[in-house]
C-alpha cells in the first residue's frame, strides 16, 4: 500500500467534489437526458407508452455514495409515466410511478479525441442491479375501478336478455340499456362491486340487477339481484378478473335473490342460476394495466437500467493539448471508508491487473496531489549525479572563496514525521566530506540533518499564490560557513523540487503557463481545469508534506458549471430580451 500504489502520481478528491461534478453533469441534457422519448410497451395486451424522466431538484435531489473501490452508488429520482389509452378503466389510462432508485455506476476510463478520460459509466448495469427502496404513485386497487370496467363490459354485451324456453332472465346496469323490457327496477340499480378477501384470496363481489320471468312457476315475475364472486388475479403489470370463472368454494357460488317472496322462488333460482352463470362469461375478462409493488419495482428496475445503460459522464478529463503528446490513462479507485476518489496516473509497474487501491492521503482537504517515492528518489539521484558527478569516482571537489572541500558521499532520503527526532516530514541528508585546510592534514567530516520542504500560500478571492521553500533544519544560518553550506544546498533543492512539482502537474493533466515572470513565478492549474462539458475546476495548493511515501500537496478546490449560467448572462447583461 502506498500513496500512489503502482503509479507515479495520484490525485485525490473528497466526495463533495464528486457530488458537485455529478450535479453539474445532471444539468447537462446531453449527458443525462431528463426526458427520454416515449417507449412502447405491452401490458396485458394493452399497448402502453412509457415515459421515463430523471429528476434532480430541491424536492427530489439526486445523490451518490461510494459503494466499493470501483462503483459509485447513485440515488436517482426517476419518474415513470405509463399511458394505456385503451385501458378498460379510464382512470387506469395513466399511472405515474416515482422512486429514488439506487443504481451503481462503474468508474472507468474511455478515449475521447485520442486522450483517455475518467468517469462513470453504466454499460454493465442490469435490472437486478437497481434497487428501489421506496415507491410512490402506486395505484390503489379498489372496486370502483372494476365497476367501471363492468359498466363498459355490460354495454358491450351481445345481449342482456337470456332465455331458457319460455323463461327469460334480463340483467340491468342502471339505464345503460333503456330498451329493455321490462325496464330496470325502480331506482335503476346499477351493477356494483366490492372487494372481499376469503381465505387469503382477493375476490370481486359483484351485484347484478336482474329480472326473471318464469311463466311455468305460477307466473313468477320479479326483480332481483344476482351476487357472484370472482377471483382478482395480479401479476406481470396487469390485474384481471375472469368473470366467467366461478370459484370452486361453495360459499362463493353465484346467488340470486328476488325482491319479492314466492313459493316458487327456490325452484326459479335453481333453474335460472345455471343460466346466468353460463352467460356471465359474456362479460369476458376484465384486464387492466396494473402495478402492484413487485410489478412496479420490476418496471422501475428495468426502465432505469435501460435508461442508464448507454450513459456515462466524465469526472477527470486530462489533456496534453498537443496531438503528439498523449497523457497516461487515468485510473480511478474509490476509497469508501474516507469517501475519497483517487485518480492514479502514469503506471510505474505491472499491468491493469496489478493495479491496487492507494492509501488515503487527502485527510480532510478538498483535494491532494501525491508524487511517488520512486519518482522522488529518481529525481534526487539524478540531481546528485548531475550536481556532483565526482561522487561516483573519487569525490566531488567543491571550491568556494571561504574554503574548499571534497564531497565524498551524499544521500537524500524522504523521511516520515517522527523520524530523526523531527515531528515534521523532511528530506534527510547524509554525507561525508574532506575539508581542505592549511597546515594540517585535511580532516573528514560526517554530516546529516533535515531539509524541510514547505509551501506558503496566500489566498484571497482573486489570488492563490504559493511560495515554495526549502529550509534547513532549525539553526542560525547567519554564520558564514553555514551560509556557504545553505547557499550550496538550498537553492538546488528548491529548484529540483519546483521541477518535480511542475512535472507532476504536467503529467496529471494540469496546465502550466508558457511564460513566467523572472524565470520564477508561474501561473498554473494543478489539475485539469475542466471536466469536459460539465464543470470548471480550480485548485489551490496549500502545503507540501514530505514523507517516506514521497510528496503530498493538499489544497482547496473550486468548482463551477462549465458554460454560461443564468447568473453569467445576467452579469454580462446578455439575458434574452423580450
Partner 1 sequence: MAKKDTQPAAGKSGKKKSVKATETKPKNDEKPGSYDPPAQAKTSPLNSLTGASRVVPVLRPNTAEIITITSHRELAVRSKDIEARVAESPEFSVMFLANPVLALEAYGIKLSRELQHHVLSSLRHPPVLRKRREALEARLEEELGETAQPTTPEWMANLVFEIRKMEPRQIGKREPAYRAPLNAASIERLQKARPKGASRYGSDKRLPVRFTLQLEKPRSAIRRMDLDADVPALKKATRKPARLSVEEAWFYKDDPIVRDAVELGQIMQRGFPFRTPAEFRKLEAAETVDGFRRFIRNVRVKQVKAR
Among 1, 58, 476, 578, binds partner 1 (CB under 8 A): 476
With binding defined as CB under 8 A, does residue 521 bind partner 1? Answer: yes
Cβ burial of 358 (10 Å; 0-12, 13-18, 19+) is buried
Tell me phi and psi for residue 320, to 5 degrees.
Answer: -80, -20
Cβ burial of 226 (10 Å; 0-12, 13-18, 19+) is buried
Cβ burial of 336 (10 Å; 0-12, 13-18, 19+) is middle
The Cα 346–Cα 457 span in angstroms is 28
- Alpha-carbon torsion (400, 404, 410, 414), positive or negative: negative
Among 487, 569, 570, 575, binds partner 1 (CB under 8 A): 487
233 - beta bridge partners? 240
With binding defined as CB under 8 A, does residue 82 bind partner 1? Answer: no
Give whichever of 73 and 484 is closer to partner 1, judged by the CB atom: 484
Cβ burial of 322 (10 Å; 0-12, 13-18, 19+) is exposed
With binding defined as CB under 8 A, does residue 466 bind partner 1? Answer: yes
Give whichever of 85 and 499 is closer to partner 1, judged by the CB atom: 499
C-beta separation of 444 from 434 below 8 A: yes
With binding defined as CB under 8 A, does residue 477 bind partner 1? Answer: yes
The Cα 326–Cα 346 span in angstroms is 11
Taking CB under 8 A as the binding criterion, the range among 41-49, 167-175, 337-345, 492-500 that sits at the site for partner 1 is: 492-500
Taking CB under 8 A as the binding criterion, the range among 75-83, 267-275, 304-312, 442-450 that sits at the site for partner 1 is: 442-450
Among 40, 58, 134, 439, binds partner 1 (CB under 8 A): 439
Residues 412-431 binding partner 1 (CB under 8 A) are 417, 420-425
Least gap, CB of 549 to partner 1 (angstroms) = 13
With binding defined as CB under 8 A, does residue 494 bind partner 1? Answer: yes
Give whichever of 247 and 417 is closer to partner 1, judged by the CB atom: 417
With binding defined as CB under 8 A, does residue 514 bind partner 1? Answer: yes
Among 262, 387, 413, 548, binds partner 1 (CB under 8 A): 387
The Cα 540–Cα 82 span in angstroms is 49
With binding defined as CB under 8 A, does residue 484 bind partner 1? Answer: yes
Least gap, CB of 569 to partner 1 (angstroms) = 12
With binding defined as CB under 8 A, does residue 322 bind partner 1? Answer: yes
Among 31, 39, 185, 543, binds partner 1 (CB under 8 A): 543
Among 16, 136, 389, 447, binds partner 1 (CB under 8 A): 447
Other residues' Cβ atoms within 10 Å of the Cβ of residue 560: 14
Burial 270-287 (b: 16+ CB within 10 A, else e): ebbbebbbebbebbbbbb
With binding defined as CB under 8 A, does residue 544 bind partner 1? Answer: yes
Total residues at interface with partner 1 (CB under 8 A): 109
With binding defined as CB under 8 A, does residue 506 bind partner 1? Answer: yes
With binding defined as CB under 8 A, does residue 530 bind partner 1? Answer: yes
161 - beta bridge partners? 170
With binding defined as CB under 8 A, does residue 516 bind partner 1? Answer: yes
- Closest to 102 in 3D by CA, of 73, 81, 68, 80: 73
Amino acid at each position: 500500500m502506498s500513496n500512489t500504489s503502482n503509479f507515479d502520481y495520484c490525485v485525490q478528491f473528497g466526495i463533495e467534489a464528486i457530488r458537485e461534478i455529478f450535479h453539474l453533469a445532471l444539468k447537462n441534457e446531453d449527458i443525462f437526458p431528463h426526458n427520454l422519448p416515449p417507449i412502447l410497451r405491452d401490458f396485458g395486451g394493452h399497448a402502453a407508452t412509457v415515459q421515463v424522466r430523471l429528476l434532480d431538484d430541491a424536492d427530489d435531489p439526486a445523490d451518490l455514495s461510494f459503494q466499493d473501490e470501483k462503483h459509485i452508488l447513485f440515488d436517482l429520482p426517476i419518474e415513470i409515466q405509463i399511458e394505456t389509452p385503451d385501458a378498460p378503466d379510464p382512470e387506469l389510462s395513466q399511472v405515474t410511478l416515482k422512486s429514488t432508485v439506487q443504481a451503481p455506476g462503474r468508474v472507468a476510463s474511455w478515449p475521447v479525441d485520442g486522450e483517455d478520460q475518467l468517469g462513470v459509466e453504466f454499460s454493465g448495469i442490469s435490472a437486478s442491479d437497481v434497487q428501489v427502496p421506496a415507491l410512490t404513485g402506486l395505484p390503489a386497487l379498489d372496486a370502483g375501478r372494476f365497476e367501471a370496467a363492468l359498466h363498459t363490459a355490460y354495454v358491450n354485451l351481445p345481449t342482456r336478455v337470456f332465455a331458457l324456453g319460455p323463461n327469460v332472465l334480463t340483467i340491468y346496469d342502471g339505464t345503460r340499456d333503456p330498451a329493455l323490457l321490462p325496464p330496470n327496477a325502480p331506482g335503476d340499480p346499477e351493477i356494483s362491486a366490492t372487494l372481499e378477501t376469503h381465505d387469503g384470496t382477493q375476490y370481486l363481489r359483484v351485484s347484478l340487477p336482474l329480472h326473471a320471468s318464469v311463466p311455468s312457476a305460477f307466473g313468477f315475475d320479479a326483480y332481483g339481484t344476482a351476487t357472484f364472486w370472482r377471483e382478482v388475479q395480479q401479476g406481470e403489470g396487469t390485474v384481471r378478473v375472469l368473470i366467467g370463472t366461478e370459484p370452486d368454494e361453495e360459499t362463493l357460488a353465484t346467488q340470486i335473490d328476488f325482491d319479492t317472496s314466492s313459493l316458487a322462488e327456490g325452484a326459479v333460482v335453481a333453474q335460472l342460476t345455471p343460466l346466468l352463470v353460463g352467460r356471465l362469461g359474456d362479460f369476458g375478462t376484465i384486464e387492466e394495466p396494473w402495478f402492484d409493488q413487485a410489478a412496479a419495482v420490476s418496471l422501475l428496475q428495468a426502465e432505469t437500467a435501460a435508461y442508464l445503460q448507454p450513459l456515462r459522464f466524465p469526472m477527470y478529463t486530462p489533456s496534453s493539448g498537443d496531438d503528439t503528446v498523449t497523457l497516461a490513462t487515468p485510473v480511478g479507485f474509490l476509497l469508501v471508508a474516507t469517501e475519497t476518489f483517487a485518480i492514479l496516473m502514469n503506471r510505474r509497474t505491472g499491468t491493469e491487473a496489478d493495479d491496487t487501491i492507494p492509501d488515503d492521503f487527502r485527510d480532510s482537504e478538498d483535494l491532494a496531489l501525491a508524487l511517488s517515492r520512486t519518482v522522488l528518489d529518481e529525481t534526487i539521484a539524478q540531481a546528485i549525479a548531475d550536481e556532483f558527478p565526482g561522487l561516483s569516482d573519487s569525490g566531488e571537489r567543491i571550491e568556494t572563496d571561504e574554503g574548499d572541500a571534497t564531497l565524498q558521499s551524499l544521500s537524500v532520503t524522504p523521511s516520515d514525521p517522527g523520524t530523526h527526532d523531527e515531528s515534521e516530514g523532511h528530506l534527510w541528508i547524509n554525507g561525508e566530506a574532506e575539508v581542505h585546510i592549511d597546515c594540517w592534514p585535511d580532516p573528514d567530516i560526517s554530516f546529516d540533518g533535515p531539509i524541510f520542504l514547505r509551501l506558503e500560500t496566500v489566498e484571497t478571492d482573486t489570488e492563490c499564490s504559493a511560495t515554495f521553500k526549502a529550509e534547513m533544519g532549525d539553526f542560525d544560518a547567519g554564520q558564514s560557513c553555514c551560509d556557504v553550506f545553505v547557499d550550496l544546498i538550498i537553492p538546488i533543492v528548491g529548484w529540483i523540487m519546483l521541477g518535480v512539482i511542475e512535472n507532476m502537474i504536467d503529467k496529471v493533466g494540469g496546465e502550466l503557463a508558457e511564460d513566467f515572470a523572472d524565470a520564477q513565478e508561474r501561473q498554473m492549474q494543478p489539475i485539469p481545469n475542466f471536466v469536459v462539458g460539465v464543470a470548471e475546476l480550480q485548485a489551490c495548493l496549500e502545503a507540501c508534506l514530505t514523507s517516506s511515501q514521497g510528496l503530498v500537496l493538499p489544497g482547496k478546490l473550486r468548482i463551477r458549471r462549465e458554460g454560461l449560467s443564468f447568473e453569467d448572462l445576467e452579469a454580462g447583461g446578455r439575458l434574452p430580451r423580450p
